[in-house]
Amino acid sequence: MKPYRLMLALIALGAVSMSSAEVSPVLVIHGGAGVIRRDMNPAKEKAVRAALALALRNGYAQLKAGKPALDGVTAAITVLEDDPNFNAGKGAVFTHDGRNELDAAIMDGSSHRAGAVAGVHRVKNPILLARAVMEKSPHVMLAGDGAEQFAKEVGIALVDPSYFRTEERWQQLQKALKEDQEQQPHGDADTAKHFGTVGAVALDAQGHLAAGTSTGGMTDKRWGRIGDSPIIGAGTYANSGCAVSGTGWGEYYIRTVAAHSICMEVTQMRVPLQRAAGEIINQEIPAMGGNGGAIALDADGHVAMPFNTDGMYRGWIGADGVPHVAIYGDENDGTAEPLPAPSDSSAAP
């Protein structure tokens, strides 16, 4: 082989080697902010922690197998949608009229493709329908009956509305209706109506990010109210450098375009992830009268999980392959420092 051809071949091999260099995958999840410690009991806490760990393991298995970040996000969120302890899918809260209205969104950071659904009543896993909207329709958001017609056409599972009901959620509605009738002043119970969402953000081995969020919305909501979760940029957003899923008082996340704002600070203004997320979640939103939390992940694998409530169901899994789960504000969730670098001894769960 002539020298210049050999040089070109070596350069090409080097380029291929660099482009195929893998990133250590990371998955971060939340199961909603606003956790009130006094309402927890040992059995529920154990169940919640187990579900969070299962969601992390299922989602991370996809990432370790080389699947895209979107697969890690959907695998994690479907676990939480299927678990009645979370306000998404089975176990979603009830509207004022005694129905379940479900919302979800997903976004691929590398392509900026996104899909969302709002106000669906029979979709077993709204996150899967949101992804189908992204991948199998020309649209970004579908709502109500039209979204469910689309679900039928693309083979997304539909269930009888009774599937979503749990006695705990039904009693929460009865309490809220009684408070409405008695015109009780706003307090902790009223504020708690606004919380309950599940979400995930993921970084895959190719360095791509994705974000997804799913929710039953707000207890006692009326008039087809839609919160921030299915709104791209408000409760869900991802680009090439940042991914965010929010949980909290949705009206304030919409007004601050919270998820997009965090990512713009990270990618455009080069603000460190934890600082950017903290400024929006713990300063800007509370200054307007709202509260809640979020999970955020950047392209370097840094994690932020800020919240300003009593607690937030949350967890992450990285190079060590071990699910890290927390609930309360006084728990160390292990994200004060960058996640550990991969090692030869790292193993998938």
Sequence-distant (6+) residues with CB within 8 A of 94 are 100, 169, 170, 172, 173, 219, 220
The 10s digit of each residue's pLDDT in 107-123 is 999 999 999 999 999 99
CA–CA separation, 233 and 287 (whole Å): 20
pLDDT at position 117 = 98
How many other C-beta atoms lie within 10 A of the C-beta of residue 194? 23
How many other C-beta atoms lie within 10 A of the C-beta of residue 283? 11
The strand pair at 102-108 and 311-317 is best described as unpaired
pLDDT at position 332 = 80
| CA nearest neighbour of 65 among 3, 294, 57 | 57
pLDDT at position 333 = 77
Question: DSSP secondary structure string, 154-172?
Answer: HT--B--GGGG--HHHHHH
| CA nearest neighbour of 156 among 173, 135, 170 | 135
Helix (H) or strand (E) holding 102: strand 102-108
Query: What pairs with residue 30 in β-bridges?
Result: 199, 314
Is 209:203 a contact under the CB 8 Å cutoff? yes
CA–CA separation, 234 and 248 (whole Å): 11
pLDDT at position 338 = 43
Sign of CA dihedral 287, 36, 171, 165: positive
> Would you name the residues annotated as active-site residues?
197
pLDDT at position 144 = 97
CA–CA separation, 309 and 332 (whole Å): 15
Is 240:209 a contact under the CB 8 Å cutoff? yes
Query: What pairs with residue 328 in β-bridges?
Result: 311
pLDDT beneath 70, residues of the chain: 1-21, 184-194, 335-349
Ordered by where they begin, the domains of the chain are 21-328 (3.60.20.30)
Helices (H), ranges, the chain: 3-19, 42-64, 69-81, 126-136, 144-154, 167-182, 188-192, 250-255, 258-267, 273-279, 285-288
pLDDT at position 30 = 98
